[in-house]
């Protein structure tokens, strides 16, 4: 096994990878840009090295510099986390060329799956259902117009190199097509340096259901069940769960088998996710493969009781997977909510500043993967995701209740967060019933009540260092008139702390 592993990332995922490394007695080495010199991922690591440069492109995204640090400090392997260099085939190749193991799939697989057009072709050839659509690279405007009319509006224009919800345009009717394509091409060019786009039938009110896959270098490929990630804002997931309330055990088996078949078709090794879109009639279509550990992997860890980062290390080291399909069981139900420093009432404007008080909820079956702590600076330089809150319950009902409880007891002071917004979503009757689709937030117009920035009584208790039990305090905040009756909760005076 590796002795020294470098994590080419920051924030909660760097901290999370560090934890598994340290549990295994592997030295965790972090890198950081100047604004992160006091960041949690730097403090938790066994060693940390500065990345020279100003911008993200000059620091966390600069493969050569990270490789140079790795070589100078005898690194055996690099874990890329998600985002940044995780799906950069050139970087994976650079690692290989320098005798450093890249903890992820091969550069070839990353290249092919990073191109949605190649991915769709490979999946079609392997007999996996894909969303009906067409490629547009060599066609004239008139042919495209006819072909799209055959698919039927609305359609989506997507970037071949797309990711993170960028470069997608919804087209409602034919007279919008030309402009939408031109706009998508421009956006794709500036975001990914690649202006190829394609067109896909727009599935109405779909669910996003994805399958966690894992392969090793001995030819074993398994799936670790599904995650439903239908609660999205601007095509970005914010709440994920497993099992999906929408799928039967037969459908689960079919989707799992399709994902494994997809993984085998491309020679997949290490952790990955096959994303599908599920229409209202229960038909599923391939969307894309994410060739990395996913943000929402803890949901799967909870229901399978596996450490996916540990499995990634074993596979990267050339060992066999620590589980077989038959040994994997989906037990209970897990939910994840992404905690962002943003103001849900002001169009989700990112909120920056110093976190003056940070007390995540602590209880059995509640897991918090944090990238910050009290004293952390939240800046404009990076993604505003602060932490992930993950809960497990024997049933969906139990994990919903636990999530509501945990959100009410998550204290973050100094920056505005989406915690109250998440609670509104979780407690919404339609969410409780599992009636999810990717436009849930628009349809239900979920927004926090005007006073939501006033924290619940627990926050106040924490701010004052009060020893009052959380049980008592929860009662205070859950009584309908508690806010107007409680002097500490009016006037927003807590903000002064």
Calpha distance 13→421 (Å, rounded): 23
By CB under 6 A, is residue 387 in contact with ligand ADP? no
By CB under 6 A, is residue 198 in contact with ligand ADP? no
Which residue, 44 or 236, is less far from ligand ADP as judged by CB?
A: 236
> Could you tell me which stretch among 43-51, 101-109, 234-242, 346-354 binds ligand ADP (CB under 6 A)?
234-242
Binding test (CB under 6 A) with ligand ADP, winner from 270, 351, 438, 452: 438
By CB under 6 A, is residue 148 in contact with ligand ADP? no
By CB under 6 A, is residue 153 in contact with ligand ADP? no
Which of Mg ion, ligand ADP, none has residue 110 at its interface (CB below 5 to 8 Å by kind)? Answer: none
For 145, residues 6+ apart whose C-beta sits below 8 A from its C-beta are 174, 177
For 24, residues 6+ apart whose C-beta sits below 8 A from its C-beta are 1, 310, 313
Helix H or strand E segment including 276: strand 270-278
By CB under 6 A, is residue 295 in contact with ligand ADP? yes
DSSP collapsed to 3 states, 364-432:
CCEEEEECCCCCCEECCCCCCEEEEEEEEECCHHHHHHHHHHHHHCCEEECCCCCHHHHHHHHHCHHHH
Question: How do strand 4-7 and strand 27-32 relate by DSSP bridges?
Answer: parallel
- Residue nearest Mg ion, Cβ-based: 275
Which residue, 291 or 294, is less far from ligand ADP as judged by CB?
A: 294
Distance in Å, CB of 377 to ligand ADP, minimum: 19
Beta bridge partners of 231: 239
| DSSP states along 44-57 | HSSEEEE--SSSTT
Binding mask 82-101 for ligand ADP (x = CB under 6 A): xx------------------
Binding test (CB under 6 A) with ligand ADP, winner from 187, 241, 275, 336: 275
By CB under 6 A, is residue 424 in contact with ligand ADP? no
Binding test (CB under 6 A) with ligand ADP, winner from 206, 215, 243, 256: 206
Distance in Å, CB of 73 to ligand ADP, minimum: 26
Eight-state DSSP code of residue 14: H
By CB under 6 A, is residue 11 in contact with ligand ADP? no
Question: Catalytic residue numbers?
Answer: 292
Calpha distance 406→411 (Å, rounded): 10
Binding test (CB under 6 A) with ligand ADP, winner from 76, 216, 226, 288: 288
Q: Find out whether 191 and 234 touch, Cβ atoms under 8 Å.
A: no
> Among residue numbers 96 through 125, which ones bind ligand ADP (CB under 6 A)?
none
Q: Which stretches of the chain bind Mg ion, using CB under 5 A?
A: 275
Nearest-5° angle of CA 230, CA 234, CA 236? Answer: 55
Beta bridge partners of 159: 197
> Could you tell me which stretch among 43-51, 94-102, 197-205, 446-454 binds ligand ADP (CB under 6 A)?
197-205
First vs last C-alpha separation in the chain: 47
By CB under 6 A, is residue 164 in contact with ligand ADP? yes
- Residue 313 structure tokens: 């290390």
Cα dist from 351 to 23, 274, 320, 340, whole Å: 34, 33, 44, 9
By CB under 6 A, is residue 317 in contact with ligand ADP? no
By CB under 6 A, is residue 267 in contact with ligand ADP? no
Total number of residues binding ligand ADP (CB under 6 A)? 28
Binding mask 32-71 for ligand ADP (x = CB under 6 A): ----------------------------------------
| DSSP states along 178-210 | HHHHHHHHHHHHHHHS---EEEEEPPSS-EEEE
Which of Mg ion, ligand ADP, none has residue 237 at its interface (CB below 5 to 8 Å by kind)? Answer: ligand ADP
Residue matched to tokens 């914010």:
238
Length of the chain: 497
For 479, residues 6+ apart whose C-beta sits below 8 A from its C-beta are none
Binding test (CB under 6 A) with ligand ADP, winner from 163, 322, 332, 434: 163
By CB under 6 A, is residue 77 in contact with ligand ADP? no
Which residue, 62 or 409, is less far from ligand ADP as judged by CB?
A: 62
Which residue, 245 or 325, is less far from ligand ADP as judged by CB?
A: 245
Q: Which of 234, 214, 220, 380 is nearest to 297 (CA)?
A: 214
Which residue, 397 or 443, is less far from ligand ADP as judged by CB?
A: 443
> Could you tell me which stretch among 174-182, 287-295, 308-316, 351-359 binds ligand ADP (CB under 6 A)?
287-295
Which of Mg ion, ligand ADP, none has residue 277 at its interface (CB below 5 to 8 Å by kind)? Answer: ligand ADP
Residue matched to tokens 């940390």:
48
Calpha distance 81→61 (Å, rounded): 12
Distance in Å, CB of 207 to ligand ADP, minimum: 9
Calpha distance 422→399 (Å, rounded): 14
> Could you tell me which stretch among 28-36, 292-300, 396-404, 428-436 binds ligand ADP (CB under 6 A)?
292-300
Calpha distance 485→125 (Å, rounded): 65
Distance in Å, CB of 164 to Mg ion, minimum: 8
Calpha distance 335→319 (Å, rounded): 31
Which residue, 212 or 477, is less far from ligand ADP as judged by CB?
A: 212
- Residue 422 structure tokens: 């998440």
- Residue 74 structure tokens: 């005898």
Q: Find out whether 116 and 139 touch, Cβ atoms under 8 Å.
A: no
Write out the residues near ligand ADP by the rule CB under 6 A: 82-83, 131, 156, 162-165, 200-203, 206, 208, 232, 235-237, 275, 277, 287-288, 290, 294-296, 383, 438
């Amino acid at each position: 096994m590796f002795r020294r592993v470098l994590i080419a990332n920051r924030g909660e995922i760097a901290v999370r990878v560090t934890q598994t490394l340290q549990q295994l007695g592997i030295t965790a080495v972090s890198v950081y840009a100047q604004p992160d010199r006091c960041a949690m991922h730097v403090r938790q690591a066994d060693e940390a090295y500065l990345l020279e440069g100003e911008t993200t492109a000059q620091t966390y995204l600069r493969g050569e510099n990270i490789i140079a640090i790795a070589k100078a400090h005898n690194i055996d392997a690099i874990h890329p986390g998600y985002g940044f260099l995780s799906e950069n085939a050139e970087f994976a190749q650079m690692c290989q060329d320098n005798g450093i193991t890249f903890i992820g799939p091969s550069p070839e697989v990353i290249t092919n799956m990073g191109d949605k057009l190649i991915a769709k072709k490979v999946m079609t050839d392997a007999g996996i259902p894909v969303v009906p659509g067409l490629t547009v690279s060599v066609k004239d405007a008139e042919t495209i117009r006819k072909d799209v009319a055959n698919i039927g509006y609305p359609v989506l224009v997507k970037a071949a190199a797309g990711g993170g919800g960028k470069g997608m345009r919804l087209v409602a009717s034919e007279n919008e097509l030309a402009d939408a394509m031109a706009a998508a091409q421009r956006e794709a060019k500036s975001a990914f340096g690649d202006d190829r786009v394609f067109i896909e039938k727009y599935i109405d009110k779909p669910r996003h259901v994805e399958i966690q896959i894992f392969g090793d270098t001995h030819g074993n490929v398994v799936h670790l069940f599904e995650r439903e990630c239908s609660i999205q804002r601007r095509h970005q997931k914010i709440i994920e769960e497993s099992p999906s309330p929408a799928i039967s055990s037969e459908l689960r088996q079919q989707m799992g088998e399709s994902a494994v078949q997809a993984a085998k078709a491309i020679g997949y090794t290490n952790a990955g996710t096959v994303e599908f879109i599920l229409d209202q009639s229960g038909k599923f279509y391939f969307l894309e493969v994410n060739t990395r550990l996913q943000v929402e992997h803890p949901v799967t860890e909870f229901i399978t009781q596996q450490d996916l980062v540990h499995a990634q290390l074993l596979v990267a080291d050339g060992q066999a997977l620590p589980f077989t399909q038959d040994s994997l069981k989906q037990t209970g139900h897990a939910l994840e909510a992404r905690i962002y420093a943003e103001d849900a009432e002001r169009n989700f404007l990112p909120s920056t500043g110093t976190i003056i008080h940070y007390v995540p909820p602590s209880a059995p079956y509640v897991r918090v993967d944090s990238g910050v702590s009290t004293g952390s600076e939240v800046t404009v330089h990076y993604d505003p995701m602060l932490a992930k809150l993950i809960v497990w319950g024997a049933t969906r009902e139990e994990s919903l209740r636990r999530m509501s409880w945990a959100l009410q007891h998550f204290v973050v002071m100094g920056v505005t967060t989406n915690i109250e917004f998440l609670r509104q979503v979780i407690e919404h009757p339609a969410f409780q019933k599992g009636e999810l689709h990717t436009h849930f937030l628009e349809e239900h117009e979920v927004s926090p009540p005007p006073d939501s920035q006033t924290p619940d009584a627990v926050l106040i208790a924490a701010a004052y260092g009060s020893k009052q039990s959380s049980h008592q305090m929860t009662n205070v905040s859950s009584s309908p008139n508690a806010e107007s009756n409680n002097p500490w909760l009016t006037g927003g005076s807590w903000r002064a702390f």
